[in-house]
Amino acid sequence: MNGPMKCLGTLALALVLAADVRAATPWVVVSIKPLHSLAAGVMAGVAEPEVLLKGGGSLHAYALRPSEANALSRADMVFWVGPALETFMERPLAALAGKARVVAVIALPGVKVLPSREGGLWEDAHLKDNGEASHQSNGVDGHIWLDPGNAAAIVGGMAEALAAFDQPNAVRYRQNAAAMSAKLNALDVELRAKLAPVKEKPFVVFHDAYQYFEASYGLRAVGSITLSPDRAPGAGRVGEVKRKIAGLGPVCVFSEPQFQPKIVQMLIRGTTARTGMLDPEGTTLKAGAELHFDVARALADSLVACLTAGP
Ligand SMILES: [Zn+2]
């Protein structure tokens, strides 16, 4: 065999080997960073799952980019919360039918589901401009990963789904899940102690994403405000929001990374509320097995810092 032919032979062999590796372990795609983090922990030492929504911004009214739809079409297995959260995935997943194993983690055994809060003080940030629900649909609150018991149940369910698909690595998935559960337990103990001093201190949020976290740690969100993340509200709306904040008397008003700080400052001017930032989906954090823990610690740190600051 001459030089180029030999090269081609080597390349062909490498491709066969690569194909074997792919066939042996499932190609796993996960919808959002918090779930991807849990999947990455369960798959540690076997393979890296791929996260679909890598960047910032919000899940609300999301539409898949062609590259993301492409990633989804290559998957052997897909983990997502379910139609209560990633509404934008319903149609692409239906198109995958039969080609990939799709697991909606909201339906896994042991996952506790809360109804979404509606009306009164809870403005629905989960509506598209046309008023159609974009996530948190069917009266179900999809932000399930912020309950520590749910995170452990998700890890266990992911391990079983992976073990059924990829039996040679079943032991590894289950061991990883057990290690993750222990780590989640330790995190829960840590957060319980950290958040105890701010229990019952009233706060307002820009997006009703924290119900599971509040219920787990005895926190007291008193209302939410709906705003467009990138458009400044008109004078009438500013007045309305200011009156609402004054009426609720929160210690803090928490924004999220997608909102411009200028808008938040304008809304609290003249009230006694302080401002803080929460990032429930880890949009500003690095994806990976540690992200879930980083998200939870950052939420606790922001809550404590703002709710206990100065006079
Ligand atoms: Zn949300």
Decide if 36 is inside a domain: yes
Whether residues 220 and 296 share a domain: the answer is yes
| Gap from CA of 135 to ligand 1 centroid (Å) | 7
Distance of alpha carbon 159 from alpha carbon 71, whole angstroms: 22
Decide if 71 is inside a domain: yes
Decide if 1 is inside a domain: no
Whether residues 143 and 207 share a domain: the answer is no
Whether residues 81 and 178 share a domain: the answer is yes
- Which of 162, 190, 218 is the last residue in one of the domains? 190
Decide if 113 is inside a domain: yes
**Mean pLDDT of the region 283-308:** 96
**Mean pLDDT of the region 36-55:** 94
User: Which residue range(s) make up the domain with 86?
Assistant: 25-190
Q: Are 93 and 78 in contact (CB under 8 A)?
A: yes
pLDDT of residue 61: 65
Give backbone dihedrals phi and psi of 162, rounded to 5 degrees, phi first: -70, -40
- Per the structure, the count of domains in the chain is 2
Whether residues 186 and 212 share a domain: the answer is no
- Going by C-alpha positions, the residue among 214, 216, 186, 189 that lies closest to residue 202 is 214
- Which of 190, 212, 246 is the last residue in one of the domains? 190
Whether residues 109 and 181 share a domain: the answer is yes
| Gap from CA of 21 to ligand 1 centroid (Å) | 37
pLDDT of residue 19: 46
Split at pLDDT 50, 70, 90, the class of 131 is: very low
| Gap from CA of 223 to ligand 1 centroid (Å) | 14
Q: What is the CATH number of the domain that holds 31?
A: 3.40.50.1980
| Gap from CA of 54 to ligand 1 centroid (Å) | 16
| Gap from CA of 181 to ligand 1 centroid (Å) | 25
Decide if 11 is inside a domain: no
| Gap from CA of 209 to ligand 1 centroid (Å) | 5
Mean pLDDT over each residue of the chain, to the nearest integer: 86
Whether residues 159 and 282 share a domain: the answer is no
- Which of 190, 219, 253 is the last residue in one of the domains? 190
Tokens of 37: 């983090």
Q: What is the pTM of this model?
A: 0.87
Residues in the chain: 311
Decide if 8 is inside a domain: no
Decide if 298 is inside a domain: yes
